[in-house]
Amino acid sequence: MTRALLLLLALFSATTVLAQDAKGDPAEGRLKAYTCTGCHGITGWKNAYPSYHVPRIGGQNYDYLVAALTEYKKGERKHPTMRAQGESLSDADIADIAAFLSSLNSAE
C-alpha cells in the first residue's frame, strides 16, 4: 500500500512539473522577450518595409504565440526581422516567451 501511494505521488508530481514546463516559464520569458519590446512595445510603430503597424503581442494567446514564433524559426513566415529572431530561439525559449507575453494585459 505504501509503495503504491509513493508511486502515485511520484507520478502526480512528475506530471505536474511536465505540465508546467509545457507552457513555459513567464519569469524566464520576461528576460528573453526584451528584444520584442523594441518594435512590439512602441505604440504606433510602423516597420520601414513593408510599411504596416506592428501588432501588439502582450496578452496574445499562448498557443498562437508559440505557433507564430515556431513558424518564424522554421522559415515558414517570411518577415526578415522576425525570421532572424525566431531562428535564434530554442523551443524552450519560445515556450517561455509565449508564457510571459500571454500573461500580460493586452494594454501593456
The angle, 0 to 180 degrees and rounded to 10, between the axes of the packed helices 91-103 and 62-74 is 140
pLDDT, position 3: 61
pLDDT, position 5: 45
pTM: 0.72
pLDDT, position 12: 54
Inter-residue long-range contacts of 47-50, CB under 8 Å, 24+ positions, other chains counted: 47/81
Domains of the chain: 24-103 (1.10.760.10)
* pLDDT means over runs of 10, the chain (108 residues): 53 49 88 89 69 83 97 94 94 97 77
Residue 98 amino acid letter: A
